[in-house]
Amino acid sequence: MKSLTKITLIFALIFTGVVSSAMAQRTIEIVGMDNMKFDVTTIEASPGEEITIKLTTKSQIPKQAMAHNVVVIDKDANVDEVANASARARDNDYISPEYKDEIIAATGLAGGGETVEITFTVPKETGDYEYICTFPGHYPAGMKGVLQVRE
């Protein structure tokens, strides 16, 4: 095989790999509302899959009073503890640095009309991982869902 043909073939393989992995990646779109609920409360994913969570807040209320995020928490963590500590971490966009090891992924805060997103690798360990909004009062009001990691 001529070296030029070889190089062309290698590039073609790389290109195919890039395109197929980009196509395989899923985006889950979630809307956060004034009733302090996510419109999507179950996400199914495969172990080690790369997914994007895209959160849009629908609200007319000023951001300081009504904003949402999506925080995916390790299944072995105490969700109430992470939620309570994070709700007090106002200077860190309501993500408690103390619990960063328990947090698998977190978006920024989205105020009314804003969209935020996070791309991350789903844990390899199967199980149920809760995701919550850590804006004060929202998780206790039921702003949560479950990322179900299944083979």
| Of 72 and 149, CB closest to Cu ion | 72
Name every residue whose Cβ is closer than 8 Å to that of residue 5 and which is 6 or more positions away in sequence.
none
| Gap between the Cα atoms of 120 and 5, Å rounded | 36
At residue 7, the 3 state secondary structure works out as: helix
One residue of 45, 138, 144, 147 binding Cu ion per CB under 5 A: 138
One residue of 135, 144, 145, 147 binding Cu ion per CB under 5 A: 135
Virtual torsion, Cα 110, 114, 120, 126, nearest 10 deg:
70
One residue of 106, 118, 143, 147 binding Cu ion per CB under 5 A: 143
Query: Which residues 66-85 are close enough to bind Cu ion by CB under 5 A?
Result: 68
The answer to whether residue 109 forms part of the interface with Cu ion (CB under 5 A) is: no
Chain residues that interact with Cu ion, rule: CB under 5 A = 68, 133, 135, 138, 143
